[in-house]
Amino acid sequence: MQWHTSTPSDGGECGEVSMNLAAMIPVRENDKAPYGPQLAFSPAAWSAFVHNVAAEELDAA
């Protein structure tokens, strides 16, 4: 599985995502990799999350 980190993260504490599975999008913390827990999202849920982040529609609380 290939993991990707956002370029602006500069390799610090951040999330990583793998986009090479058809049925789910796994997400993990890069400082806990490779043995830390992962969250798995459906492609539709991940797409909605990314859209809401880009549109700044998420409440920080």
Task: Read off the pLDDT of residues 5-39 as tens digits, 9 standing for 90 and up.
Answer: 877 766 667 888 998 888 999 999 887 767 788 89
The model's pTM: 0.71
Q: Provide the pLDDT confidence category of residue 2 given band limits of 50, 70 and 90.
A: confident
**How is the chain split into domains, by residue range?**
4-54
Q: What is the edge-to-edge ordering of all strands in the sheet holding 38-41?
A: 4-5, 15-17, 25-29, 38-41
Q: What was the pLDDT predicted at 34?
A: 75
What is each CA distance from 2 to 26, 38, 53, 54, in whole angstroms?
Answer: 10, 14, 23, 23
Give residue 42's pLDDT. Answer: 96
> Residue 61's pLDDT is what?
61
pLDDT of residue 5: 84
